[in-house]
Chain A
Amino acid sequence: MKIIYSDALIVGGGLAGLRSAIATKEKGLDTIVLSMVPVKRSHSAAAQGGMQAALANSVMGEGDNEDVHFADTVKGSDWGCDQEVARMFVATAPKAIRELANWGVPWSRISAGERTVIMNGQKEIIKEAQEAHGLINARDFGGTKKWRTCYTSDATGHTMLYAVANEALRRNVIIHDRKEAISIIHDEKKAIGVIARDLVNGELIAYVAKGTMIATGGYGRIYKQSTNAIICKGIGTAIALETGVATLGNMEAVQFHPTPIVPSAILLTEGCRGDGGVLRDKDGYRFMPDYEPEKKELASRDVVSRRMIQHIRAGKGVPSPYGEHLWLDISILGRKHIEKNLRDVQDIAKTFNGIDPADEGQKGWMPVLPMQHYSMGGIRIKPTGESTTLAGLFAAGEAACWDLHGFNRLGGNSVSEAVVSGMIVGEHFATYCKETHLNTNTCIIAEFIKKQSNYLNEILAYNGKENIFDIKDEMRSIMQEEVGIFRNEEGLQRAVKRLEELLIMTKQINVKSKIRGNNPELNEAYRVPKMLKIALCVAKGALERRESRGAHYREDYIKRDDLNWLKRTITRWEDPEATTPTISYEELDIAKMELPPAFRGYGRKDSIIEHPKSMERSQEIEAFKAANPQMDRFELQEQLMPFELPLDYKKKNQRIGVEYA
């Protein structure tokens, strides 16, 4: 029996996991990071367009601060997020950007003086201040009031991941790659590590630690068409669910990005539209201003994706052998801009489609269609990052439902959350690991290894007629067809029923190679049932949520229903033999919100069932502000919705022109 002990165990080597590892090393803790792939291959590297943080360096960011970023994030979430977490996030994000600059992220910097930009399809001239020269630049993104998304061309995730990974190596974080966590070791009350499978030789290893963190990213690969990397299967989320104790939050909240390229589903960044690119239909017509007069192509992702499908349904899609699509036109930005700031986009379009998007006119238009992109749902945690129900289990980044994004994440808030949660949750996790003593015996550990070993043998002994690849394909098609951008009761019922059948069928397969070592088919055989459990949480959550909110859109319940549905979906899988999760809800309390529910400013205006408390709270806040004219924005905020942050992350952020105001 191989047991490896550490103080802090982190599963997942992307931005969230590695930044958390730096936090635990900072406290002198022995830290191990497990990763399925070399950590610099993690999906964080694929983030293109940028990271949101209210620095307000650029003239287009003037007046930006934590309050504006907070409001954008809450509206983006369609009031589904935890506002206290959103506050923690926006206060820390500027510090995260600056820390990353110190660790070597070569952020694009501002040149003082005039430059030409494209806004609303027109050339405009903006003038950057002398005092902003050399400071971190930002571009426009969807659903934001200010230009707030900091970037390194369109390879932002790559430079961030490398900086954080290099810093983690400098601090001697121990990295074990090609290890897949397949079970969490726990005693119903407390998590004390994981059973991991060595993907090189199949060996099972017990990693035992004072605290365990899951930072394994999203579950996009349960969909047929996803921008996500091959590894984003949600296995880390699934093993938390399989404890029967930890819960998942808002699993039905799945984001569809407006502009992956057809047919390869590779992402073309929102920066394309942020920098001035537009969407066109089969007639070459720019249609978004008709639907969204104010934000146009830069409404939130859920809204733009729905409008695009709506426009295709109206007969305006471009026919192709891969189905209908629309066009993304960035040629209007000019070759110079594209080859500097959107070079990966150009490279992707050239390599995979033979299109140079810098070519003028229709020749350069890229075929795009909304596809799965991000998982707002994940392991339900407290603001500290610890599971609400299983002590010692922490989660950060996309794997978690912290819950920063509610029912729709803003572009640029994902890598931002990954790093910021790595700082905040990482710090709480480190404190937990420091203060906790490992109190277990090797019997429990042996039991968990034995159980997984038996399970793998059981899989190899299956002697049925089904094929695990067919089951996986069907799951992905069902999710695509029935649990996609537009959802309804009948389709969701069909989805849940068939997914349950598929879950049962995973035990009726026959794995050809019987070796326990490096056996790719065996990997599929234990991963697919886990993916199906995640898919069932998404489908059942979507079926039960009879309203439309953010990315969750019900054709049969088209309104956002604050009266009945201002709550978070909680799924749990108590009985391992069950074929569906149990669902409960966590109420969101309007009386405690700093920003009570209202119209987002984009999307359909007439589609909210209001809660009377929204108006009450709104009036209460206005009255409080009027009664306390002497308070500055920080004092007001503190009174309306207090929040806490570890270390000195709550310190005010300095900005040019306004200093610490």
Chain B
Amino acid sequence: MHRIYEDGGREIVLTIFRHDPNNEDSIPHFQDYPIIERPGMTLYIALTQIYTSMDHDVSFDFVCRAGICGSCAMVVNGKPRLACRTLTSEFSEGKITLLPLPTFQHIKDLSVDTGTFMNAMTKQVEGWIVNNSPQDISTIEKPVEPELSDEIFELDRCIECGICLASCATKVMRPNFVGAVGLNRVARFSLDPHDSRSDEEFYELIGDDEGIFGCMSLMGCQDHCPKHLPLQKQIAYMRNKMVKVR
């Protein structure tokens, strides 16, 4: 039968960072939660169990619980990951320490505000199609080479989970650095035949230290990206393009 049906049952301990910055009485601390591991247990299942049966006050963010929406990024034993896709069985010692994702505004416990940054980043890099020619949507669409469409799709798979920024040294020094998420976005639109922008126009958006020239090529982003996006290649590609502009 299946790997997932194997017997489980060991005791594991989740150590969770607790703090509510909006509550004056709250003091940051770690709290231990011992639970019995079940076969196929993910951090989503473990945290939900802690919340419903042990501590109704612990906060975290899950939406799709399937690795699709990007809500549940957190630091798991020192590495930024999507909690919903993390199996507790990966940790042979049975000790799992959870911290909120760094670089984003802390909301409470394991919950952080990614929306504010991602929306601002989108505006900073103008992460949308720019095309001012009139379009009649009742006529046959503009043809696109199938391989090109697939290539754009590949980059469009980013779920804005924030893990690339949590893995990024530049981001620590430059709060407005758009990160791999922003640079990948620009690379994506620069490929899109629906977008009329020139390299010069993209340079205006990312041709500085908050953009493409901020990256120090440490590539923590690529190492941790849960969608396995080719970030190193895209950043190098954009840097090459942008260097040629000036």
Task: Select from chain B the residue with minimum beta-carbon distance to A159.
Answer: B156
Instruction: State which of B20, B58, B87, B123 has its C-beta within 8 Å of the C-beta of A517.
Output: B20
Instruction: State which of B115, B131, B137, B153 has its C-beta within 8 Å of the C-beta of A98.
Output: B137
Is B42 interfacial (CB-CB < 8 Å)? yes
Contacts of A600 in B (CB 8 A): none
Type the 1/0 row for A623-661, where 1 means its CB is closer than 8 Å to any CB of B: 000000000000000000000000010011111100000
Please state if B128 and A133 are interface contacts (CB–CB under 8 Å): no
Type the 1/0 row for A89-105, where 1 means its CB is closer than 8 Å to any CB of B: 00000111111011110
Q: How far is the CB of A216 from chain B (nearest CB, A)?
A: 13
Interface residues on chain A, number (Cβ under 8 Å): 84
Q: How far is the CB of B151 from chain A (nearest CB, A)?
A: 8
Task: Select from chain B the residue with minimum beta-carbon distance to A659.
Answer: B140
Type the 1/0 row for A33-48, where 1 means its CB is closer than 8 Å to any CB of B: 0000111111101100
**CB contact under 8 A between A520 and B51, given known A46-B64, A98-B141:** yes
* Cα A355 to Cα B5 with chains together (Å): 12
Please state if B57 and A101 are interface contacts (CB–CB under 8 Å): no
Type the 1/0 row for B64-93, where 1 means its CB is closer than 8 Å to any CB of A: 111111110000000000000101000000
Contacts of A43 in B (CB 8 A): 63-64
Please state if B2 and A40 are interface contacts (CB–CB under 8 Å): no
Contacts of A135 in B (CB 8 A): 140-141, 143
Is A177 interfacial (CB-CB < 8 Å)? yes
Is B4 interfacial (CB-CB < 8 Å)? yes
Q: How far is the CB of B33 from chain A (nearest CB, A)?
A: 15
* Cα A135 to Cα B159 with chains together (Å): 26
Q: How far is the CB of A309 from chain B (nearest CB, A)?
A: 22
Instruction: State which of A42, A162, A175, A652 has its C-beta within 8 Å of the C-beta of B156.
Output: A162
Partner-contacting stretch, out of B169-177, B189-197, B210-218? B189-197
Type the 1/0 row for B1-29, where 1 means its CB is closer than 8 Å to any CB of A: 11111000000000000001011000000
Please state if B143 and A45 are interface contacts (CB–CB under 8 Å): no
Is A313 interfacial (CB-CB < 8 Å)? no
Question: Max chain B CB contacts within 10 Å: which of A41, A103, A153, A231?
Answer: A41
* Cα A107 to Cα B141 with chains together (Å): 11
Is A599 interfacial (CB-CB < 8 Å)? no
Please state if B159 and A158 are interface contacts (CB–CB under 8 Å): yes
30 interchain pairs (CB within 8 A)?
A37-B71, A37-B115, A38-B71, A38-B118, A40-B70, A40-B118, A42-B63, A42-B69, A45-B64, A45-B159, A101-B141, A104-B156, A106-B144, A106-B156, A109-B149, A152-B153, A167-B129, A169-B123, A230-B63, A320-B1, A352-B40, A353-B40, A367-B2, A513-B57, A518-B22, A518-B107, A518-B108, A520-B57, A651-B138, A656-B140
Instruction: State which of A40, A155, A654 has its C-beta within 8 Å of the C-beta of B160.
Output: A40
Q: How far is the CB of B242 from chain A (nearest CB, A)?
A: 21
Type the 1/0 row for B127-171, where 1 means its CB is closer than 8 Å to any CB of A: 111010001011111111110011011001101100000000000
Please state if A104 and B149 are interface contacts (CB–CB under 8 Å): no
Please state if A155 and B157 are interface contacts (CB–CB under 8 Å): yes
Q: How far is the CB of B225 from chain A (nearest CB, A)?
A: 13
Question: Max chain A CB contacts within 10 Å: which of B108, B142, B149?
Answer: B149
Instruction: State which of B23, B138, B157 has its C-beta within 8 Å of the C-beta of A515.
Output: B23
Known contacts A178-B113, A352-B42; 14 additional CB pairs below 8 A are: A38-B118, A38-B119, A99-B137, A102-B137, A102-B194, A106-B144, A108-B146, A108-B149, A169-B122, A201-B22, A263-B4, A344-B68, A518-B107, A520-B58
Contacts of B52 in A (CB 8 A): 469
User: Which B22-65 residues sit within 8 Å CB-CB of chain A?
Assistant: 22-23, 39-40, 42, 51-53, 56-59, 61-65
* Cα A512 to Cα B65 with chains together (Å): 27
Task: Select from chain A the residue with minimum beta-carbon distance to B39.
Answer: A321
Please state if A229 and B63 are interface contacts (CB–CB under 8 Å): yes
Contacts of B118 in A (CB 8 A): 38, 40
Q: How far is the CB of A156 from chain B (nearest CB, A)?
A: 10
Question: Max chain A CB contacts within 10 Å: which of B57, B114, B128, B139?
Answer: B128
Is A134 interfacial (CB-CB < 8 Å)? yes
Please state if B137 and A354 are interface contacts (CB–CB under 8 Å): no
Is B223 interfacial (CB-CB < 8 Å)? no
Task: Select from chain B the residue with minimum beta-carbon distance to A97.
Answer: B141
Is A30 interfacial (CB-CB < 8 Å)? no
Contacts of A231 in B (CB 8 A): 63
Contacts of A651 in B (CB 8 A): 138
Task: Select from chain A the residue with minimum beta-carbon distance to B107.
Answer: A200
Please state if A354 and B126 are interface contacts (CB–CB under 8 Å): no
Contacts of A133 in B (CB 8 A): 143
Type the 1/0 row for A205-238, where 1 means its CB is closer than 8 Å to any CB of B: 0000000000000000000000001110000000
Q: How far is the CB of B143 from chain A (nearest CB, A)?
A: 3
Task: Select from chain A the residue with minimum beta-carbon distance to B68.
Answer: A46
Contacts of B127 in A (CB 8 A): 166, 169
Please state if B67 and A351 are interface contacts (CB–CB under 8 Å): yes
Task: Select from chain A the residue with minimum beta-carbon distance to B56.
Answer: A521
Contacts of B70 in A (CB 8 A): 40-41
The 8 closest A-B pairs by CB, nearest first: A134-B143, A38-B115, A354-B3, A521-B56, A166-B128, A106-B152, A106-B153, A109-B146
* Cα A587 to Cα B72 with chains together (Å): 46
* Cα A178 to Cα B122 with chains together (Å): 19
Question: Max chain B CB contacts within 10 Å: which of A163, A230, A469, A519?
Answer: A230
Q: How far is the CB of B125 from chain A (nearest CB, A)?
A: 10
Please state if B126 and A170 are interface contacts (CB–CB under 8 Å): yes
Q: A: which residues have CB within 8 A of B?
A: 37-43, 45-46, 94-99, 101-104, 106-111, 133-137, 152-153, 155, 158-159, 162-163, 166-167, 169-170, 175, 177-178, 200-202, 229-231, 263-264, 266-267, 320-321, 340, 344, 347-348, 351-355, 367, 469, 511-513, 515, 517-521, 524, 648, 651-656
Task: Select from chain B the residue with minimum beta-carbon distance to A162.
Answer: B156
Instruction: State which of A46, A351, A354 has its C-beta within 8 Å of the C-beta of B69.
Output: A46
Task: Select from chain B the residue with minimum beta-carbon distance to A38.
Answer: B115
Contacts of A353 in B (CB 8 A): 2-4, 40
Please state if A104 and B63 are interface contacts (CB–CB under 8 Å): no
* Cα A513 to Cα B129 with chains together (Å): 47
**CB contact under 8 A between A351 and B85, given known A108-B146, A109-B144, A520-B58:** yes
* Cα A39 to Cα B119 with chains together (Å): 10
Contacts of A518 in B (CB 8 A): 20, 22-23, 59, 107-108
Q: How far is the CB of A655 from chain B (nearest CB, A)?
A: 7
Please state if A654 and B140 are interface contacts (CB–CB under 8 Å): yes
Please state if A38 and B114 are interface contacts (CB–CB under 8 Å): yes
Task: Select from chain A the residue with minimum beta-carbon distance to B115.
Answer: A38
* Cα A636 to Cα B107 with chains together (Å): 59
* Cα A374 to Cα B128 with chains together (Å): 30
Instruction: State which of B115, B126, B143, B160 has its C-beta within 8 Å of the C-beta of A178.
Output: B115
Contacts of B67 in A (CB 8 A): 347-348, 351
Q: How far is the CB of B140 from chain A (nearest CB, A)?
A: 5
Task: Select from chain B the residue with minimum beta-carbon distance to A158.
Answer: B68
* Cα A61 to Cα B35 with chains together (Å): 53
Please state if A230 and B62 are interface contacts (CB–CB under 8 Å): yes
**CB contact under 8 A between A266 and B20, given known A136-B141, A159-B153, A352-B40:** no
**CB contact under 8 A between A134 and B145, given known A106-B153, A348-B66:** yes
Contacts of A653 in B (CB 8 A): 138
Please state if B69 and A652 are interface contacts (CB–CB under 8 Å): no
Contacts of B2 in A (CB 8 A): 320, 353-355, 367
* Cα A524 to Cα B51 with chains together (Å): 11
Q: How far is the CB of A41 from chain B (nearest CB, A)?
A: 4
Task: Select from chain B the residue with minimum beta-carbon distance to A473.
Answer: B52
Q: How far is the CB of A226 from chain B (nearest CB, A)?
A: 11
Instruction: State which of B4, B142, B160 has its C-beta within 8 Å of the C-beta of A101.
Output: B142
* Cα A344 to Cα B66 with chains together (Å): 10
Task: Select from chain B the residue with minimum beta-carbon distance to A267.
Answer: B66
Q: How far is the CB of B66 from chain A (nearest CB, A)?
A: 4
* Cα A648 to Cα B107 with chains together (Å): 45
Contacts of B140 in A (CB 8 A): 135, 654-656
Please state if B71 and A41 are interface contacts (CB–CB under 8 Å): yes
Contacts of B56 in A (CB 8 A): 469, 511-513, 520-521, 524
